[in-house]
Structure 1
Amino acid sequence: MSEAGKIAIIGDRDLVAPFKVFGLTVLTPASTEEARTMLAQVVQEKYAICLIQETWLDSLKPEVAELSHKFAPVCVGFSDFRASSESVENLMRELSIKAIGSDALFTRGRKENETR
């Protein structure tokens, strides 16, 4: 994979290990501090995209918010089949607003009075 197109994924080993087959750099932290170090490594090594499992996303929120002002890496959270919350939806909404100036992509399918 070219230097400009490197992708990292941070998450639990049992969930993210298979992504190595697709050429992603798999990072499996054991603690929040280790996750912060790994995210800093992703920045230092100039990855284009960093996928972050939702369980780690909450503890890395300040670092991800700081990175949102930079061009790369783009940090995107993902949820897995084991748990679900609004963290990923909120992050994707923020990215949508930053990219197109609207969260219209996330209002489709809602009832008029429904808010999230």
Structure 2
Amino acid sequence: MYKIAVMGDYDSIYGFATLGLSIVPVSTPEEAKEKLHQLAGGQYGIIYITEAVAAELTREIEKYQEQITPSIILIPGVSGNTGAGVQGVKATVEQAVGSDILFSN
């Protein structure tokens, strides 16, 4: 059975521990890159990453986009929402459905 991890700055992710998720606080891009590879190579099927940390790991995250696991999902952190998480979900759904789900006339 796969596990779920949440990676980002400590203030943004500490609450997820109460839900039983593994939290992985990181403070530098190098540390985040190393931890992402460890999580992806382990038993983690879903990895939530704060948008701020993900912005520093774009190339690393792209390496896993064509794989079934892990699924990497961007979430807002305490510093706010950049919209990157919503844009990622939108792009994935567009690819699967073949249409813009947020298009309005």
Q: TM-score range with shorter-chain normalisation?
A: 0.7 to 0.9
Relative contact order, CA 8 A, sep 6+: which one is greater? Answer: 2
Specify every segment of 5 or more residues in structure 2 that has no aligned partner in the other structure, as ranges: none
1:65 to 35, 38, 62: 62
Q: Following TM superposition, by how much is the alpha carbon of 1:16 offset from its aligned partner in structure 2, in angstroms? A: 0.6
* Corresponding residue for residue 34 of structure 1: 31
Q: Following TM superposition, by how much is the alpha carbon of 1:20 offset from its aligned partner in structure 2, in angstroms? A: 0.9
Larger-Rg structure: 1
* Corresponding residue for residue 19 of structure 1: 16
Runs of 4+ in 1 over 6 A off after TM superposition: none
Structure (1/2) with the larger strand percentage: 2
Q: Normalising by structure 1, what TM-score? A: 0.80
* Distance verdict in 2 for CA 1:37–1:81, change over 3 Å: closer
Specify every segment of 5 or more residues in structure 1 that has no aligned partner in the other structure, as ranges: none
Alignment coverage as a number of residue pairs: 105
CA RMSD between the two structures: 1.6
* Corresponding residue for residue 44 of structure 2: 47
